[in-house]
Amino acid sequence: MAGELWRQSWQFGKEVTYGTYVPATRVMYGTEVGLTRARDPRPYAVMTGTRDNVRGFTQGPVQAGGMMNYPVSADEMIELLLIGLKGGVTPTTPAMATNTRLWTFTPGTSLDSASIEWNDGARDWRGSGMHCDQMTIQGAVNQGNTVSCTLFGSDVVLGAGTGALTQRTPTYLDGWQTRFFIDAFAGTPGTTEKTGTLLNWNISIQNGLARKYTAGNTLAASGITIAPLTITAQLTFEASHATSAAEYANWDATTKRIVSLQFQDETSFIETTFRRFVQIDLPGNWSTVDLGQTADNTRVYAFAFQYVYDPTNAFGVQVRCQNTRTSAF
């Protein structure tokens, strides 16, 4: 019957002009998705000498948004990073490769915007001017590995979606497919691997988007502003491992580090010597250490990390995706 949840679909198109809807060009495979459209309710309670004194009601301008969750994938994350970390990125071809492509994202001054088509199972909706405001990558070695985004847009309206887009079979990177590195600040990320240490992770990238409204008798925002990035990470270590003691000392000495997580498919080769992967490189300092945590009958330590811009590597965070994609959207 109509309205069944299995009927849901989620599709993206890259906008040429911010907030101007374009038909979708790519199916996106989320596990939890949705668009929202809010207007602040404004009841007017006035002095009437009676208890039933609400004599007027209006609603504020449009606040469009939404959310989406995806399994981590070197193939499927490109659009999320374009609307959430840096727009206009194109891939490069690694040395000695033919079909392999490397997408490198560092914080940019502008983001691509997407039109999103969502069939909620019952009706078709169109979201325009969509950016990712907050992106969170979280997982555990013995569990899943997901990327979630909160959306921030121009408007959401009822409207038919684009039909007959090409379907795919995505590739995913699970929690156990994680490699963990800690290197000296200003060094080469992903050089010194730490095995037997990392249990789970949570990395948050916040854009601080805001809407500007100007007079014109219109519900729509006149523009979207972007703020300095807020980037934090929480990593849980096995307490008995030597890395925990070493990084505790680095925390106490305020010694800067570069933390890298690489989600890599060791069995799926693109070409003879490159694999699919997603790698997050984060320079900065350990900000706090919680020694009182436990997991699976062992003592574990929770290390919080604060990013610090690395002038040698020229980034405060870097996300790289290696796959075979030559273009986005």
Give 296's contacts (C-beta < 8 A, 6+ positions apart).
none
| pLDDT at residue number 222 | 85
Number of folded domains in the chain?
1
Residue 303 contacts residue 282 (beta carbons within 8 Å): no
- In the chain, the percentage of residues whose pLDDT exceeds 70 is 99
Cα 149 from chain centre:
5
Q: Is residue 279 part of a domain?
A: yes
Q: Is residue 48 part of a domain?
A: no
Q: Is residue 174 classed exposed, middle or buried when 0-12, 13-18 and 19+ CB atoms within 10 A define those classes?
A: middle
Domain that holds residue 229: 5-39+57-323
Q: Is residue 127 part of a domain?
A: yes
Dump the DSSP string for 262-316.
EEEEEEEEEETTEEEEEEEEEEEEEEEEEEEEEETTEEEEEEEEEE--BTTTTBS
Q: What is the pLDDT of residues 209-220, one digit of tens each?
A: 999 999 999 998
Q: Is residue 329 part of a domain?
A: no
Q: Is residue 232 part of a domain?
A: yes
Q: Is residue 191 part of a domain?
A: yes
Residue 123 contacts residue 160 (beta carbons within 8 Å): no
270 pLDDT band, cuts 50/70/90, is confident
| pLDDT at residue number 265 | 85
Q: Is residue 299 part of a domain?
A: yes
267 pLDDT band, cuts 50/70/90, is confident
Residue 183 has pLDDT above 90, yes or no: yes
Q: Is residue 44 part of a domain?
A: no
Q: What is the pTM of this model?
A: 0.95
Q: What is the pLDDT of residues 246-259, one digit of tens each?
A: 999 999 999 999 99
Residue 135 contacts residue 205 (beta carbons within 8 Å): yes
